[in-house]
Amino acid sequence: MPPAPTAYDVVDLIRAKRDGGRLAPDEIDWLISAYTAGDIAEEQMSALAMAILLRGMRREEISRWTQAMIDSGERLDFSGLTRSDGSRRLTTDKHSTGGVGDKITLPLAPLVASFGVPVPQLSGRGLGHTGGTLDKLESIAGWRASLSNEEMMTQLDGVGAVICAAGSGLAPADKKLYALRDVTGTVEAIPLIASSIMSKKIAEGTDALVLDVKVGSGAFMKTREDADELARTMVALGTDAGVATTALITRMDAPLGLTAGNAIEVEESLDVLSGGGPPDVVELTVELAREMLAAVGVTDVDPAQALQDGRAMDTWRQMISAQGGDPDAALPQAAHSHTITAGVSGTVTRLDAMSVGLSAWRLGAGRARKEDPVQAGAGVRMHAKPGDTIRAGDPLFTLLTDEETRFERAASALEGAVDVDAEGGPVEIPNLVLDRISAEDIAAGPAAQG
C-alpha cells in the first residue's frame, strides 16, 4: 500500500462525521491506511464506525472507502484464464449476505462451472447464528480450504469451480475493521457492510458478481427498505469498479431447506446435485445460476437440467477431489439426537429462521469466537415448513450434537419458533425472490445513508 499522503487529526475526522459532515477522499485514504498500519487507536476507529452507523455516508464516500480497503492488500487477477483460441474466459461469482440453512454456494458453484464458466468463490467461516461455507465443506474427509493463488488458478482452469478461504492478503483493512465492528455494535451500518463485502469481492478479481441480499428474521437486514438500500449500494460499488453486478433480494424469514448445520447441509446439497432436494433450495440455486451465467453472456442454457442430468454433480466431485476431499466418504454424524414434536394439529404458518439458527449454533454447529472449533455433525433437521400440514405428536425438529448437555438451551431457542393454524386452511407462501436490482436501477438512485 502507498504511504499515507497527509496526516490528519483523527479526532477532527470523528467530530466531522459525528456532526453529519462528509469525509474528503484524502481523509478516507489516510484513515484506512493509518488504521491498517496500527497508527489509529481501536477506540478512535470504534467511535468513527459508530458515527458512520448513525450518520451514514454519501455514495462517493463509500466508493472511496471501498477502494482504500481494496488498496490495503493484494488483488487477484484471472485475466490469464483463456480458451484455446486465446479469448478470455470471464469469471462469475455470488455473495450472500448470510442466512440460516443457506447452503446455496455448495450446489451453485459446480452447477455454474458445469457450463464452462469459471467460479472463484472465496468464502468465510461462520460467526454467530449464520453458518459458514468453509465450515460446511470441512465436514468432508480430507477437504482443504486453504489454496495458494497458483493452486486456485490451476483448479479454475481445469475444474472450473473453486470454493476456498480468502487469503490474509486480501483487503486486510476489512479484516481488522470487521473484527472491531463485531465487538462494538457497528456491524449493521449499511455503508460499512457494503464496503466490507464489495472490497473483498472486487479485490478477488471476479468479472461478474451476483449478490443475494437476504431480508427477514434470520438476516442482517430485517426490513425491505434496508435490504433495498444495501443492495443498491453494493450494485453501485460493483458497477463503478467495472464488475458486472446485480442483486436479488430474497426472503430469510424461514430457513432455507430442511437442514441448518454443517454435514447435514452438505448432505442436502448432494440431494440437490442429484436432481432432488427441497424446492426452495433448488429454486434459489437455479435462479442464482441463471443470473451468474447471464452476467457473463451465457443465456441459452438450462441450469435446472444440469442438476437433473448429473453434469453439476460431476463438477462437484472434481471440485471436492481437487482440494483433497473424498466425495464418497460418509459424512460425520452427531453422537446424540433429540426430537421435538408438535403439540397441536394444523397447518404451519411460520417457522422462525433466527430461532433455528440460534438452536443450531447452541448445538455446536457455529462458533462464538473465531478461534472456536465447530462440530461437523451438529445442527437442526426440520420436518415441517410453512404450508405443511402436521398432526399433534409429529416430529417438528431433530436436534443433533456430540454433547447431550447442549440440548436444553438449543430446545429453548425453538420455543415459539413455529406457528400452527389449527383450522388447517391453505397458507399463502410469498415468493422467495422479492426483487432484482441491476446497474440500470441505481443509475439515478439516491446516495446511501446510515
Q: State the catalytic residues.
A: 95, 174, 181, 196, 200
Number of Cβ within 10 Å of residue 188's Cβ equals 14
By CB under 6 A, name the one of 63, 67, 96, 196 that touches ligand URA: 196
Q: How far is CA 328 from the centre of its chain?
A: 26
Among the candidate windows 25-33, 189-197, 323-331, 374-382, which touches ligand URA by CB under 6 A?
Answer: 189-197
Q: Which residue matches cell numbers 455470488?
A: 94
298 is a contact residue toward ligand URA (CB under 6 A): no
Residue ranges with strand state E in 53-130: 92-96, 119-123
By CB under 6 A, name the one of 197, 289, 292, 360 that touches ligand URA: 197
Count of residues that interact with ligand URA, criterion CB under 6 A: 6
Instruction: Report, in Å, the least distance between residue 98 CB and ligand URA.
Output: 6
Q: Which is nearer to ligand URA, 233 or 401 (CB)?
A: 233
65 is a contact residue toward ligand URA (CB under 6 A): no
Instruction: Report, in Å, the least distance between residue 246 CB and ligand URA.
Output: 18
Angle at 2 between CA 177 and CA 51, to 5 degrees: 30
Task: Sketch the per residue contact string, 111 through 130, with ligand URA: x for CB under 6 A, - otherwise.
Answer: --------------------
Q: Which is nearer to ligand URA, 78 or 178 (CB)?
A: 178
Asked if 122 and 200 touch (Cβ cutoff 8 Å), the reply is: yes
By CB under 6 A, name the one of 45, 140, 159, 193 that touches ligand URA: 193
**Burial group, residue 79, by CB count within 10 angstroms (0-12, 13-18, 19+):** exposed
Closest residue by beta carbon to ligand URA = 196
Strand pairing report for 244-251 and 92-96: unpaired
Asked if 8 and 24 touch (Cβ cutoff 8 Å), the reply is: no
Instruction: Report, in Å, the least distance between residue 177 CB and ligand URA.
Output: 8
239 is a contact residue toward ligand URA (CB under 6 A): no
69 is a contact residue toward ligand URA (CB under 6 A): no
Helix/strand/coil for 1: coil
By CB under 6 A, name the one of 30, 78, 178, 316 that touches ligand URA: 178
Asked if 104 and 98 touch (Cβ cutoff 8 Å), the reply is: no
Q: Which is nearer to ligand URA, 181 or 290 (CB)?
A: 181
Name residue 215's amino acid: V
Q: Which is nearer to ligand URA, 192 or 281 (CB)?
A: 192
Helix/strand/coil for 379: strand
Integer CA distances (angstroms), 99 to 67, 217, 252, 275, in order: 27, 9, 6, 23
Q: Which is nearer to ligand URA, 193 or 410 (CB)?
A: 193
Instruction: Report, in Å, the least distance between residue 193 CB and ligand URA.
Output: 4
Cα–Cα distance for residue pair 392/229, rounded to 1 Å: 42
399 is a contact residue toward ligand URA (CB under 6 A): no
Instruction: Report, in Å, the least distance between residue 256 CB and ligand URA.
Output: 17
382 is a contact residue toward ligand URA (CB under 6 A): no
- The sign of the dihedral angle between the CA atoms of 68, 71, 72, 76 is positive
Q: Burial code of 381-403, b = ≥16 C-beta within 10 A, e = fewer?
A: bbbbbbeeebeeeeebbbbbbbe
Which positions lie near ligand URA, rule CB under 6 A?
Answer: 178, 187, 192-193, 196-197
